[in-house]
Each structure stands twice: as structure tokens, then as C-alpha cells.
Amino acid sequence: MCARISLTTTGAEIADLFGLSYDLNNPRPRYNVAPSTLLPVLRVVNGTRELADLRWGLIPHWNTNPKHTGYVNARGETAPDKPAFRDPFRRRRCLVPADGFFEWKHVGKKKRPYFFRKAGGGMFVYAGVWDRWHGPAGPVDTVAVLTVPANDLVKPLHDRMPAIVEEGRFGAWLDPNEARPAKLLPLLTPYPVERMEKWAVSDRVNKASADGPDLLAPVAEPATPTWTQPTLFEVA
């Protein structure tokens, strides 16, 4: 699952990565982006690439429940067949830039957060799908991040990870003339382990409203307690 990401990249870097010919307003660095907030998304509308802010949590266009909070993620393998994602997968695919993502490891009764990013830093680009829901307050464009089976770096914490699209595959994923899952699903593969890194971070990130660069600072992992059976002749 991918339910928290960081996005501190400048507007110029995003524009350059996606080949946009216009300047972007420099976004505020966000170190703990949570569902229901806005995400910058690259999509194709009327044959033109555009970067737009979409609400994270896809609400299907046919939804009639005004309290629906949306789907944060969608499994890449099954999205072409699921009612909520079938039409967006074929017609409304997008790309979501991010610096990295968080996952949690269960340690006893607690969950310890870890940050995952490209080895040495840089931008990830996640595969996404979007839809337009006409809610009580008017139309709302919403997005879900697709996931794939976790690689060996992520797997000890979770069995899923974001579907990260390689730069040379951006055009193929966004192609409005392609709707065949047989052509699109091969673009979604686990990111190579050797090109990623992770470290433990402060549990302050557990709070969705927390923000700031200190959330990405490495913290020491607690030592794993060890216990051995005392021998018969051991002195207490």
C-alpha cells in the first residue's frame, strides 16, 4: 500500500522531467503527503499534457455516496477489471511525481516508519488513474496510485509498493490511444532493489498533519532484544 509520500521537488524540476514547455509555480515542499490532500498529477486532456492538482483518493464518476472518501490505491494487476478503476485505467491514466514513500514495520505492538527513495535521491514517478466525480459541491477530480508486488527491499514491511514508471515509459503509459491491458500492464513492474534505499524515521510521521524536513531524517533503530537460556552453572 502507498498511503504517505513526500514531494519536495521544485516546479522547474517537475516541468523538466515531464517535458512541459511552461513554468510551474514553485510548490511548497511537503514531507508527509496524506490521502484526501491534493497531489500534482500529469495527465493528457484533449491531446495535451497538463499538470493539475487532484484530490488523492479516487471516487468513481458513478458514485452516489456523498461520504465516499475514495480509493487511495489500486492493484495494478486487477485495475482493468475492477468497476471502480476499469474505465479510468483505459481512458484516464496519469503520472504522480514524488521524492519517496513511507511504510511501517510492526515491532511488537508498535509500528516503526521507514522512508524509501531512489538511491542517492531523485524523483520517483508513480502510475496513477484518475476520475471526475460530480459531488454535492460540484465536480472533483480524484486520483489513485497503482501498486505492484513489493521488491525485496519493501517486502519485509509490506507485500505491495507503488508502481514506479521509468522515464522512457511515460509516453506509453499516458498514450490516450492505448487501452489494452496487455500493452499497459507490462509497464508496471517492481522497481529494482539496487536502485533504492531506505532508513528508519521519526514516528512523528504517523500523524498526518505533521510536516517538515526533520520527518525524513534517519533515526537509530532500537536494538533487537536478545535472550539466552541460562546454563545450570550460571551465577545469578
| 63 and 73 Cβ atoms separated by less than 8 Å | no
Q: Is residue 69 part of a domain?
A: yes
**Considering the domain boundaries, does residue 121 fall inside one?**
yes
Q: Is residue 230 in some structural domain?
A: no
Lowest mean pLDDT segment, chosen from 7-16, 112-121, 193-202, 216-225: 216-225
- The answer to whether 221 touches 112, Cβ cutoff 8 Å, is yes
Percent of the chain clearing pLDDT 70 (strictly above)? 92
- pLDDT of 23 reads 62
| 115 within domain boundaries | yes
Q: What is the pLDDT of residue 236?
A: 39
* 200: in domain: yes
Residue 197 has pLDDT above 80, yes or no: yes
Q: Is position 232 within any domain?
A: no
3-state secondary structure of 87: helix
Q: Is the pLDDT of residue 1 over 80?
A: no
The mean predicted confidence, pLDDT, of the chain is 91
What CATH number is attached to the domain comprising 126? 3.90.1680.10
> What are the C-alpha distances in Å from 51 to residues 24, 42, 124, 224?
9, 4, 16, 45
Domain extent for 140: 5-216
Neighbours of 6 (CB within 10 A): 24
Averaged pLDDT, 176-186: 96
Reference 145, options 70, 91, 88, 74; nearest CA is 74
pTM, 2 dp: 0.91
pLDDT digits (tens, 9 = 90+) for 104-160: 998 888 899 999 999 999 999 999 999 999 999 999 999 999 999 999 999 999 999
| pLDDT at res. 158 | 95
Q: Is 24 helix (H, G, I), strand (E, B) or coil?
A: coil
Quick check: is 203 in a domain? yes
Q: Of 2, 13, 94, 194, which residue is the catalytic one? A: 2
* pLDDT for position 170: 97
Cβ atoms of 80 and 89 within 8 Å: the answer is yes
pLDDT tens track for 10-50: 888 898 899 887 666 777 899 999 999 999 999 999 999 99
- Does 30 fall in a domain? yes
pLDDT at 11: 84
Catalytic site residue 2?
yes
Q: What is the pLDDT of residue 12?
A: 85
Buried b (16+ CB within 10 A) or exposed e, 144-177: bbbbbebbebbeebeebbbbbbeeebbeebbeee
Q: Is the pLDDT of residue 229 over 60?
A: no
> 68-86 pLDDT, tens per residue?
999 999 999 999 999 999 9
Higher-confidence position of 2 and 41: 41
Pick the catalytic residue: 103, 166, 221, 234? 103
Give how many domains the chain has, as a whole number: 1
End-to-end CA distance of the chain: 48
